[in-house]
Amino acid sequence: MSGMPASAPAPLRLATVEDDPRYRNGLAMLLRGLPGFTHAASFGAAEPLLAAVRKARELGMPMPWDVVLTDMGLPDADGVALTTEVKRLFPKMRVVVLTVFDEPARVLAAICAGADGYLLKSSGSEELIEQLEAVVRHNAPLSSALANTVLRLVRESQVDRPGPANLPRDLGLTQRQLTVLRGLVEGLSYREIGERMEISLDTVRSHIRQIYAALQVHSVAEAVSYALRHRLA
């Protein structure tokens, strides 16, 4: 009926995986009542979550959660293995990895596994909430400090490795789109990219849609992974 207000989108169902009970309880308290999310499940290890995800797939059920927030280091699996398995079973389920600063190599592996965001455990509550809210906007969060460390690792690991220094020419990306892509690799938000390039947020989003189409990807994480693998950064 015309004139009626549009209904608010359903909150995203979020599951957390964290083996430290104190940190797990702290996350639950932080996430309780967070707009846009429902904290639907909490696990102390990877396997119980993966068992639930596998069962849902075997029974032909919808994905049990929209977002999984997982520690990188778990007693029975790491965040990379968890991300790989979740994405294999439910590609649209978003996985956000919690990490400590000294794990850039594992974060890089998570990028290639398809993780949708990478948050530092040292982040304050306000920053963590802000970055989680970015997931709702499909803007994968990646701390700038962590992004710089990961990029340095990539550069050092590929100094003597032959390969293209740029993206393949037939992708059809403009220089402005490449600049937007580099901003994503650096961990910038859409807003920060717009401010750097002096363009509107809508223009940034338009460029990113064209980047996705050219690279045949569907998320910031996949675009970043492509750029890293082609030594764009």
Q: Are residues 59 and 123 in the same domain?
A: yes
Q: Phi then psi for 5, rounded to 5 degrees? A: -65, 145
Shared domain for 59 and 117, answered yes or no, is: yes
In the prediction, which pLDDT does 166 show? 45
Domain shared by 78 and 167, yes or no: no
Residues 36 and 90 in one domain: yes
- Same domain, yes or no: 19 and 121: yes
Is residue 156 domain-resident? no
Query: What is the domain-level CATH number for residue 201?
Result: 1.10.10.10
User: Are residues 36 and 142 located together in one domain of the fold?
Assistant: yes
For the chain, which ranges sit under pLDDT 70?
A: 1-8, 101-105, 135-170, 221, 231-233
Cross-sheet strand order for the sheet of 94-99:
37-43, 12-17, 67-71, 94-99, 117-120
With a pLDDT cut of 70, the percent of the chain lying above it is 77
176 with 81, same domain: the answer is no
DSSP 233: -
Domain limits for position 98: 12-151
The whole-number pLDDT of residue 163 equals 45
Q: Is residue 1 part of a domain?
A: no
* Cα pseudo-dihedral 18, 24, 140, 225, rounded to 10: -20
Residue 176: other Cβ atoms inside 10 A: 13
Task: Please report the pLDDT score of residue 140 as a whole number.
Answer: 58
Judge if 219 and 171 occupy the same domain. yes
Q: What is the pLDDT of residue 33?
A: 74
pTM score, two decimals? 0.67
pLDDT digits (tens, 9 = 90+) for 149-165: 666 665 555 544 444 44
Do residues 144 and 177 share a domain?
no
151, 175, 197: which is the final residue of a domain?
151
Q: Confirm whether 96 is domain-assigned.
A: yes
Let me know whether 206 and 140 are in one domain.
no
Question: How many domains does the structure of the chain reveal?
Answer: 2
User: 129 and 203 in one domain?
Assistant: no
**143 and 77 within one domain:** yes
Contacts of 46 by beta carbon, 8 Å cutoff, 6+ apart: 17, 70, 74, 76, 77, 78, 81, 82
Give kind and range of the element (H or E) at residue 179: helix 175-185
**8 Å CB contact between 109 and 153:** no
CATH number for the domain spanning 81: value is 3.40.50.2300
Which of 130, 151, 172 is the last residue in one of the domains? 151
- From 151, 178, 211, give the residue that closes a domain: 151
